[in-house]
Chain A
């Protein structure tokens, strides 16, 4: 069964540093998403991406965050000037159709120290 692949599985970064989380969506999917889950809490939407541009973003997704699809297969989330409160599990998801049939990746556990 096709999978969404995320790397790394765990990332430890010093506060103030930049981090890039990587995702390889399912190949025929057109819609891409990032969500995050702070430990023990609910899953929160960050951003959706379609046709090489952001289609929707949440209040969490401020100027500290950016997304990119650099080469037609990878989908990245960049977090600049990381803060302690950015520590969370970050999930990438993709879907073939808008708003239907999401497949989530296995997540990247980001720890800011």
Chain B
């Protein structure tokens, strides 16, 4: 059974600093997703990573995937307050299974 673990669970960082959120998954996965969730809101899709070595960037966020290590990272560059949210990674297992297995989430707080 696919398991997805994120760390850290909580992250408090100052504006302008860089940090990385890690997402490990337990079995072969053919795609990895990153979502953002603001309090009481829905899940906003940030990135879909489909292959080993994939790297995607949007603004101050960059996501990468290493399928051999079963690891994805979400890197935040020069954090700003409006990046404060909970970030989830999710993976789907190979062989066409349809469900997403989510990580526990990382609650990110950017301090001015």
Footprint of B on A, CB under 8 Å?
A: 31, 33, 35, 41-45, 48, 50, 55-56, 58, 91, 98-107, 109
Contacts and interface: CB of A to CB of B under 8 A. Distances in A.
Interface in B4-52: 30-31, 33, 35, 40-45, 48
Interface of A is mostly: strand
Interface stretch (B54-62, B64-72, B77-85, B92-100): B92-100
B98 A43 contact: no
21 contacts: A35-B100, A41-B104, A42-B102, A43-B43, A43-B100, A45-B100, A48-B98, A55-B98, A56-B98, A91-B42, A91-B43, A98-B96, A99-B96, A102-B33, A103-B45, A104-B42, A104-B43, A104-B45, A106-B41, A107-B42, A109-B40
Contact of A42 (B33, B41, B103): B103
Given A43-B88, A43-B90, A56-B97, 17 more contacts: A35-B100, A41-B104, A42-B103, A42-B104, A43-B43, A56-B98, A91-B42, A98-B96, A99-B96, A99-B97, A102-B33, A102-B100, A103-B45, A104-B44, A105-B42, A106-B42, A107-B42
A30 B4 CA distance: 26
Give the size category of B's interface with A.
Answer: 20 to 34
Contacts of B104: 41-42
Given A42-B105, A91-B43, A100 B31 contact: yes
Contacts, number: 55
A33 B97 CA distance: 13
A40 B44 CA distance: 17
B88 A42 contact: yes
A86 B92 CA distance: 25
B101 A45 contact: yes
A99 B42 contact: no
Given A42-B105, A45-B100, A56-B98, A99 B31 contact: yes
